[in-house]
Structure 1
Amino acid sequence: MCTGKCALCVGGSLYPLALISIICNIILFFPGWDVKYAQNGQLTDEVKYVGGLVGGGALVLIPAFYIHLTGEKGCCSNRCGMFLSILFAAVGVAGALYSFVVALVGLINGPYCKVGLIWSTPFKEMNESYLKNQDIWGLCTEPKNVVEFNVGLFSTLLVVNGLQLILCAIQMINGLFGCLCGTCIEKDPL
């Protein structure tokens, strides 16, 4: 496969992943599908780090545009364009990695919720992971179903950011080949 076509494929694949990442992060601001928790600041700390919005969203979307444009400039654009695609893909790797780590920590620590009369992160200090024991999820009385809500969205972010990492790493390798080997534009026979 030509390096330009590969860049076109990678760039096109990053668009929906960045959109999913942004949507998941925005939804995380509304646990229990209610605005009052965001207004009162009763959110999981990892939601406030906006990993999906900034990291998996903007820092992947900008490289996706450039990588896609690099692929559209002919078969492989030029060596300079492919070199720049390596740098943009590195920015995408950094953004996806940031979002991945934030989502992983959010999944490990668990949600910020009301336990009895106190708001806390009840699963953070436990010796055993709350993910293995669904019986204790009922500790969180408010927002309703916040554990399932956070687990589902943070897990989705983990998968999406993992795919973004892989695609941006592929583009870094692809860009290196395009930069070193040059273009693969077919010459017209005379």
Structure 2
Amino acid sequence: MKMCPRRCAHCVSSLLFCLAVISIAASILLLFPNGETEYLKEAHITCQALLLPGLWGSGFMVFLAALSIHNAATDRCCCFCTSTRVKMFVSIIWSKLVIVSSCICLGISALGLANGPLCLFNVSVSNNTQVQHWGTPFNTSSMIASPDCYLYNPSLWEICERPKNVVLWNIILFLILIIISCLQVLLCTLQIINGYFGCVFGRCLHANTK
């Protein structure tokens, strides 16, 4: 039985390509709550969404790393060829960079999920009157909605009047970014280990590799 770093790298690069596409799509969709463009034009989008962490952190950076890993995986040089080891070493560097960028995306997405969406909601003022206000009612620093975490209390989501269904929109997309970032970190860690084997043994850990 033989172990092939080349085959492992091919699988990792394919998965990274798919995750990067999903990450970019999720990050862009965060700019358009409920599929509407007016809130972006009116600057009623959270700063975490405006940073587009899934576009660069878990998107384009991952694309570049996946290309490097794919290049190493498709190298047709023999097992003991120097170019194979160089490409594997380059893929290790890219994998480490992706771990950093994915962790940044993870942190921004987690903060965006914790703070909740920016929406239009009612605020009580003097004389028990209410006025509409744009803000983040679920932000832990304001606690306007409730001291309880809004993630576990869907009844609080109705506080946001506009955009419609923005809370669910925000939760789903930021969760997607968080999950994707974690998967990318795991895959790149695997590629770092696989890359070291590739640097030492070449394409395959078997002398009779065709």
State the TM-score, normalized to the length of structure 2.
0.84
CA change 1:188–1:147 in 2 (3 A) is: closer
Quick one: which of 59, 81, 87 aligns to 2:87?
81
Shift of residue 102, structure 1, vs aligned partner: 1.3
Paired residue total: 189
Consecutive unaligned residues of structure 2, counting only runs of 5 or more, are 123-131
Quick one: which of 97, 116, 123 aligns to 2:138?
123
Check conservation: 2:32, 2:39, Cα contact below 8 A: yes
Q: What residue in structure 2 maps to residue 58 of structure 1?
A: 60
Query: Percent same amino acid at aligned positions?
Result: 38
Check conservation: 2:57, 2:104, Cα contact below 8 A: yes
Matched, 1:30 2:36: no
Give a deviation string over 1:61-111, Cα, whole Å, max 9, x none: 110011011001037662221111100111111221121111111111100
Consecutive unaligned residues of structure 1, counting only runs of 5 or more, are none
Counterpart-to-counterpart distance in 1, 2:159 and 2:174:
19
State the TM-score, normalized to the length of structure 1.
0.93
Structure whose residues are more often helix by fraction: 1
The letter for the 2-side match of 1:120 is: G
Mapping 1:134-153, distance limit 5 Å: 134-153=154-173
Counterpart-to-counterpart distance in 1, 2:201 and 2:95:
18
Shift of residue 178, structure 1, vs aligned partner: 1.4
Counterpart-to-counterpart distance in 2, 1:3 and 1:99:
28
Q: What residue in structure 2 maps to residue 3 of structure 1?
A: 5
Tell me the C-alpha RMSD between the 2 structures. 1.8
SS in 1 for 2:134: strand
Counterpart-to-counterpart distance in 2, 1:93 and 1:61:
13
Counterpart-to-counterpart distance in 1, 2:148 and 2:66:
39
